[in-house]
Structure 1
Amino acid sequence: MNPHVEVLADLPTLIDRALDLVLEKLQSSIASRNIATIALAGGSTPKPLYEKLAQQNLPWDKLHIFWGDERYVPADHPDSNQRMARLAWLDRVPIPPENIHPMPTDDGDPAISAQKHEAELQSFFKSEPGEFPAFDVILLGIGDDAHTASLFPHTEALQVCDRFITVGDKDGNPRITFTVPLINTAHAVIFLVAGANKYHALTQIFADEADTETYPARLINPQGELWWLLERSTNFAK
């Protein structure tokens, strides 16, 4: 499928567009299935989106929150994606605690944590062996190296095709991350991209030909909808 690419005037406009899109997808899922699942991104760009979601009147008991990747640090660590989302959004709304599904980072071994989280996803989605669960929404960003989630260039995580969750590696620091096939099973993947430093990565991600090992975000091609919301400062226009 061709991606939906929108270039927005500035970050507040991008966040407003993302809010509308996320609410549309979540509300549609709740209306049709009485449940909605969303996997959150880390980084600074989505934080204002989470703050706006905290102001919405949603049926919180029907919403289940996951993360697309997590640094292997305690949940209260300043670098924790979970901590950021909780402070900006989840601790400010009456969502049932059991509806929040963080990636475990307290096992002392990232591989064990990845296996544990995969088992949780398999149980939650009631996935058959060999079947990948389909999230309603997965939020992603990119780095200036074109990584997304914790799928970094030329790392083993890019090759994992038989699991939902694997261990990513950022300069020797482990992360827990969704795998490429799990992301690609989603009903909607939404990239939020801001900053002039992302221009080169975007040109390679959208190039007719480029190496996916070097530019991992090229691997994201979901069976559902693919949205790229780009701030104008990226200087990129598809």
Structure 2
Amino acid sequence: MKAEMKQFDDRAALASGLAAAVAKKLSAAIEKDGDASLAVSGGSTPKKFFEELSHARIDWSKVTVTLVDDRMVPPDHERSNERLAYEHLLTNEAMKAKFVPLWSDLSDHVDTLAEHASKTIGHIERPFDVVILGMGTDGHTASFFPEGNNLRAAIDPDGKTAVISMLAPGAGEPRLTITLPRLVEADMLVLHIEGDEKLSVLEKAREGGPEEEMPIRAVLSKAPRPVTVYWAP
């Protein structure tokens, strides 16, 4: 499966290197198109990268930032990816960026919120300039979870919906996630992982097998160009 490895000596070097590469791509997109878009993932792995990127001296007022996925919790919740983005990315220079959330308080019904988020994300020009994915030790990425109730629809390469809801045993809260076609078409598609365990998971995924078993396989196999893997021990 298509992937280009970029290995760093430690996690600080990875965060710095990834931030520099993303800033360069966003700046080039602004120069070419007048604006740029960035979709990021949550979890503990990207915090240092977010902090490094927040200091990048680019024209953040022309950058739209959104989330690859989020939990169905309000933005003041400790497990909210929106909260994570505001605390670690949308600060310093990046405070000037426009942020487009997935979660809203319009309804308690996951499918209603997914429909609303799909329309909202649909206003962001395609394709995203940069998408940063993470990966769990179960092989999930975004909120494409094994045994997810909407997994097949979420990883359908011909799917037309931008955002879909996801309920899964390993997900904790109900989730909202941008779907596969909208993610893999990005001009710069990155998988950001750290540690030997996740590298082993990635290597297993690349050996092939059912996408439903390890959904990261859907990204690796359906992306039109190799995914760039940023990894450090």
Instruction: Identify whether the pair has TM-score above 0.5, normalized to the shorter chain.
Output: yes
Cα gap change, 1:151/1:134 in structure 2, threshold over 3 Å: closer, same or farther? same
Q: Secondary structure at the match of 2:197?
A: helix
Matched, 1:228 2:226: no
The aligned residue for residue 17 of structure 1 is 17
The corresponding residue for 2:54 is 54
Displacement after TM superposition at 1:204 (Å)? 1.8
The residue type equivalent to 1:230 in the other structure is W
Given that 1:187 and 1:225 are in contact with CA atoms closer than 8 Å, whether structure 2 keeps it comes out as no
Counterpart of 2:137 in structure 1 is 144
Report if the CA contact (8 A) 2:73-2:103 is conserved: no
Partner of 1:157: 150
Counterparts of 1:115 and 1:56, CA distance in 2: 33
What's the CA shift for 1:210? 1.5
What letter corresponds to residue 110 of structure 1 in structure 2? Answer: V
Shift of 1:224: 4.6
For the residue of structure 2 that corresponds to 1:228, the secondary structure is strand
Q: Equivalents in 2 of 1:29, 1:74: separation in Å?
A: 32
Q: CA deviation at 1:141?
A: 0.6
Preserved contact between residue 193 and residue 199 of structure 2 (Cα < 8 Å): no
CA distance in structure 2 between the partners assigned to 1:117 and 1:224 by the alignment: 27
Greater alpha carbon shift after TM alignment, 15-24 vs 192-201 = 192-201
Unaligned runs of 5+ residues in structure 2 are: 154-158
Contact 1:201–1:215, Cα closer than 8 Å, also in 2 = no
Query: What's the CA shift for 1:163?
Result: 1.1
Question: Share of identical aligned residues, percent?
Answer: 27
Aligned residues: 223
- Name the residue aligned to 2:69: 69
Q: Secondary structure at the match of 1:86?
A: helix
Match of 1:36 in 2: 36
Whole-angstrom distance in 1 between the partners of 2:148 and 2:127: 24
Contact 1:145 1:215 in 2 (8 A): yes
Letter in 1 for 2:99: I
CA 1:94–1:180 in structure 2 vs 1: closer, same or farther (change >3 Å)? closer
- 1:174 maps to which residue? 174
Q: Deviations over 1:109-157 (max 9, x none)?
A: 11111111111122343xxxxxxx3100011110000100110013233
| Contact map agreement 1:157 1:179 (CA 8 A) in 2 | no
Pairwise CA distance, 1:211: 1.4
Long gaps (5+) in structure 1: 126-132, 234-238
CA drift of 1:89 comes to 2.3
Judged with a 3 Å threshold, the aligned counterparts in structure 2 of structure 1 residues 15 and 96 are, in CA distance, closer, same or farther, namely closer
- Compute the displacement of 1:91 (Å): 3.6
SS of residue in 2 equivalent to 1:17: helix
Task: Give the secondary structure class of the aligned counterpart of 1:100.
Answer: strand
Amino acid at match of 1:44: S
Query: Bigger shift: 73-82 or 105-114?
Result: 105-114
Whole-angstrom distance in 1 between the partners of 2:140 and 2:161: 19
Q: Is the 8 A contact 2:54 2:94 kept in 1?
A: no
* Partner residue, 1:216: 215
Distance in 2 of aligned mates of 1:54 and 1:44: 16
Name the amino acid aligned to 1:135. Answer: F
- 3-state SS of 2:122 partner: helix
Per the normalisation by structure 1, the TM-score is 0.87
